[in-house]
């Protein structure tokens, strides 16, 4: 029993990472129907910004802040130079470009940062702040869950109650009608990339603190799994990404804890196959017809 509880805590921590990354996938998809394969690499950028900031002696909150701002700038620039020129091109062109941007960032990382894994500075004391029998919640886990929750609440408030948030939802529902309202859609798309990338950057630092090894290709697997999480929840739907991410984290840790860790990746993609068979639109998705 206590092992199950412990695995749930671990799963929730890992799941919050997936959820933060999945939000970026889902928001961008919701607004321009693009699967931004470079998103996992933005998360890597966040981890490295955090790494250098902490190594440079900056306090954690400041490093965390920088690790959101700089990936956000990456997102802004990538959207502007790589995706905006393809706004009216067939979707496959943008998709292939996204794969290209992803490969570019990964190889740039290998070139500039070297492919060797680096130990992430462990600035948090390794102690559990909640202990209940054999179940321990470490300070890092606690922060991961609390920060993720706080970011999700902020995002939800933003999307529902601000003018820009409402415009984002309008653009995702009907881009042309949104333009007729006087919404500058390029600006809204930029904002979406900035927010999604900042959340991925936050995830990068949190994962560095949790699994203290970072490397330029770390975004590949996490990105892919977060993408799967977004699909499981229903791509384009914000609460779906949150739920999908948490489910993914739970499934992985439970399998690792009770079966074998070698099954971990299989379960992630097994979940994808399962959801595509049962409910391809995802947990929160409504089956939509393609309008002609």
Partner 1 sequence: MLTVENLHVYYGAIHAIQGISFSVRQGEIVTLIGANGAGKSTILKTISGLLRPRGGKIILEGEEISTLAPHQIVARGISQVPEGRRVFPELSVMENLELGAYQRKGKEHMDELKRVFTLFPRLKERRNQRAGTLSGGEQQMLAIGRGLMAKPRLLLLDEPSMGLAPLLVKEIFSIIREINAAGTTILLVEQNANMALSIAQTGYVLETGEIALSGPAGELTRNEEVRKAYLGL
Residues engaged in binding partner 1 (CB under 8 A): 163, 166-167, 169-170, 173-174, 176-185
Going 202 to 205 to 210 to 211, the CA torsion angle's sign is: positive
Spatial CA neighbour of 148 closest among 27, 22, 47: 22
Q: Answer whether 50's CB lies under 8 Å from 67's CB.
A: yes
Complete DSSP assignment for 192-234: HHHHHHHHHHHHHHHHHHHS-EE-TTHHHHHHHHHHHHHHHH-
Whichever of 33 and 166 has its CB closer to partner 1, that residue is 166
Whichever of 32 and 200 has its CB closer to partner 1, that residue is 32
Which two structure tokens, joined as six digits, stand for 79?
């959207």
Torsion angle of the four alpha carbons 45, 51, 54, 57, in this order, in degrees rounded to the nearest 10? -100
Whichever of 166 and 264 has its CB closer to partner 1, that residue is 166
Going 28 to 205 to 146 to 65, the CA torsion angle's sign is: negative
Q: Answer whether 109's CB lies under 8 Å from 216's CB.
A: yes
Strand partners, 184: none
Start-to-end C-alpha separation, the chain:
54
Residue 228 to residue 15: CA distance in whole angstroms: 12
Whichever of 54 and 183 has its CB closer to partner 1, that residue is 183
> Closest approach of Cβ 289 to partner 1, in Å?
13
Whichever of 87 and 127 has its CB closer to partner 1, that residue is 87
> Closest approach of Cβ 39 to partner 1, in Å?
24
Q: Cα dist. 178→28, 174, 186 in Å?
A: 16, 6, 11
Whichever of 163 and 289 has its CB closer to partner 1, that residue is 163
Whichever of 262 and 286 has its CB closer to partner 1, that residue is 286
> Closest approach of Cβ 23 to partner 1, in Å?
18
> Closest approach of Cβ 288 to partner 1, in Å?
11
> Closest approach of Cβ 185 to partner 1, in Å?
8
> Closest approach of Cβ 166 to partner 1, in Å?
6
> Closest approach of Cβ 190 to partner 1, in Å?
14
């Amino acid at each position: 029993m206590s092992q199950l509880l412990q695995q749930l805590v671990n799963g929730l921590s890992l799941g919050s990472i997936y959820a933060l990354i999945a939000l970026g996938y889902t928001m961008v998809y919701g607004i321009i129907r693009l699967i931004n394969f470079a998103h996992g690499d933005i998360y890597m950028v966040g981890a490295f910004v955090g790494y250098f900031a902490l190594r440079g002696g900056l306090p954690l909150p400041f490093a965390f802040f920088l690790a959101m701002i700089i990936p956000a700038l990456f997102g802004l620039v990538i959207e502007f130079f790589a995706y905006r020129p393809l706004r009216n091109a067939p979707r496959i062109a943008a998709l292939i470009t996204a794969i290209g941007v992803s490969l570019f960032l990964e190889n740039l990382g290998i070139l500039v940062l070297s492919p060797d894994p680096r130990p992430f500075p462990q600035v948090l004391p390794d102690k559990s702040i909640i202990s209940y029998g054999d179940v321990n919640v470490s300070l890092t886990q606690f922060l991961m869950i609390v920060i993720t929750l706080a970011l999700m609440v902020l995002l939800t408030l933003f999307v529902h109650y601000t003018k820009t948030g409402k415009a984002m939802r309008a653009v995702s529902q009907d881009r042309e009608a949104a333009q007729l309202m006087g919404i500058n859609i390029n600006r809204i798309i930029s904002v979406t990339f900035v927010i999604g990338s900042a959340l991925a950057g936050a995830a990068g630092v949190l994962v560095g603190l949790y699994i203290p090894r970072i490397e330029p290709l770390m975004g590949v697997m996490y990105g892919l799994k977060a993408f799967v999480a977004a699909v499981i929840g229903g791509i384009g739907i914000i609460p779906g990404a949150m739920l999908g991410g948490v489910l993914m984290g739970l499934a992985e840790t439970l399998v690792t804890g009770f079966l074998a860790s070698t099954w971990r990746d299989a379960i992630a993609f097994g979940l994808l196959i399962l959801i595509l068979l049962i409910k391809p639109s995802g947990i929160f998705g409504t089956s939509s017809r393609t309008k002609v």
